[in-house]
Amino acid sequence: MTRKFFVGGNWKMNGSKKDVNTLVSMLNNATFSDVEVVVAPPALYLSTVRTELNSNIEVAGQNAYYVSKGAYTGEVSPEMLKDMGINWVILGHSERRDIFRESDEVVAKKVKHALDTGLGVIACCGEKLEEREAGQTTAVVFRQLKAISDLVQDWSKIVIAYEPVWAIGTGKVATPQQAQDVHDSIRQWLSENVSPAAAEATRIIYGGSVNGGNCNELAGCPDVDGFLVGGASLKPEFVNIINAKI
102-139: pLDDT as tens digits: 999 999 999 999 999 999 999 999 999 999 999 999 99
How far apart are alpha carbons 86 and 134 in whole angstroms?
Answer: 39
How far apart are alpha carbons 201 and 187 in whole angstroms?
Answer: 10
Residue 99, SS3?
A: coil
How far apart are alpha carbons 57 and 53 in whole angstroms?
Answer: 7
Q: Among 107, 102, 62, 84, which Cα is nearest to 230's?
A: 62
How far apart are alpha carbons 153 and 192 in whole angstroms?
Answer: 13
- Confidence (pLDDT) at 1: 65
Which residues are the active-site residues?
A: 93, 163
Q: Mark the ranges of the chain whose per-residue pLDDT is less than 70.
A: 1
**CA of 75: how far to CAs of 31, 58, 63, 68, 78, in Å?**
35, 21, 9, 10, 10
pTM over 0.75: yes
For residue range 43-70, list pLDDT tens digits in order. Answer: 999 999 999 999 999 999 999 999 999 9
Q: Are 10 and 229 in contact (CB under 8 A)?
A: yes
Residues with Cβ within 8 Å of 113's Cβ and at least 6 positions away in sequence, in order, are 64, 65, 66, 67, 68, 78
How far apart are alpha carbons 184 and 222 in whole angstroms?
Answer: 9
Handedness of CA 51, 54, 58, 59 (dihedral sign): negative
Q: What is the DSSP letter of 75?
A: -
Domain 5-242: top CATH class: alpha beta
Segment (H or E) for 81? helix 78-83
Diameter over CA atoms, the chain: 48
Q: What is the DSSP letter of 12?
A: -
